[in-house]
Structures are given as C-alpha cells and as structure tokens.
Amino acid sequence: MGKVYGILGWMNFFSFTETKEKIFSYLPWFILKNKKWDIIKLKNWKQHNSHFIIQINNIIDRSLASTWTNTDIFIDKNQLPKLYPDEYYWNDIIKCKVFNTTSKYLGRVINLISNKYNDILLIHNELKKNNIKKIMIPFINKKIVKNIDIQNKIIIVKWN
C-alpha cells in the first residue's frame, strides 16, 4: 500500500495483477505487521488515475492510515485461477536456476520485467567474477525459453 490519500483514511494502492482490477476479487488480503499476520477487510476502493485508492475497515483518518503505508499485501495462492499447461505465475519462476542448452549455469531469476512486446527474465549470477552479473533474457516460450521445471526450480534457455 502506498501513501495516504486525503484525510478520511484512504490510501494509494498499486496492483501488480495482469488485469489491475482483478486484485479486488482475491479477497481476503493479508498483511504481515509486527511479525504477525492480519487480515485486511476492505471497505471501499476506487480507480484513481493509473492506480487505485482504498479504504480499510476501521481506518477512519489520515493518522491511522499512515501506519499501514509502505506495506505489501498478500493473498492465499489457492485464490488464483488454475493455469493451463505452459503457463506460470511470476512468483513460481523467481528463484529458478537458469541453464543454457549446453548446461552452462547462467544464474537465478531475481525478477521479471513486463514490456509491450514480451516479458523479460532478470537473472543474477552470483558466481561470475567479471562485471556481468545480471543478464536479461526475453521470455519467449519455445524459442528462447526451452523448458521450465517449476517442481525442481530449473529453466533451460537458448542463450550463450
């Protein structure tokens, strides 16, 4: 959750789901606060420019809302739609080890980046001694990304 919006306890909220509004169908939300999991009960939400503003139950003013800012929300993975074969959630791909087709270790996936053409795997190689520690590989299934084994957290790519 982002910074406070107004004086009535609203907060800026940024969704990272593919269809931004879809996050509101994955209720309840959870938050880790003071090393304890709490359930967030959403009172209201509105589209605001390129993001949303939300109101949480019992958060009625700016000072209460400020205690919730700069926090991440979580959902139960079982709430997500079932995927078709060869579809993956980004969260499942992060931390996968990446090897090229000749079994050369390239690193671990630390993030995915979306652009209008295709997603990009951001890979960090903690073993490299030279300056090239991060590699960006286009996520083009079957052409560059040859195999994804989520169970064993391994991705095979056609890359040098």
**pLDDT tens column, 62-112:** 999 998 888 888 998 888 888 888 788 888 999 999 999 999 999 999 999
Q: Is the pLDDT at 10 greater than 90, yes or no?
A: yes
3-class DSSP assignment, residue 93: helix
φ/ψ of residue 29, rounded to 5 = -100, 155
| Contact (Cβ atoms closer than 8 angstroms) between residue 147 and residue 158 | no
Secondary structure (DSSP) of 43-96? EEEEEETTEEEEEETT--SHHHHHTTSS---B--GGGSPPPPTT---HHHHTT-
CA 153 to chain CA centroid, nearest Å: 17
Single-letter amino acid code for the residue at 145: V
Domains of the chain (ranges plus CATH)? 4-79 (2.40.30.60), 90-157 (2.30.30.240)
In this prediction, residue 116 has a pLDDT band, given cuts at 50, 70 and 90, of confident
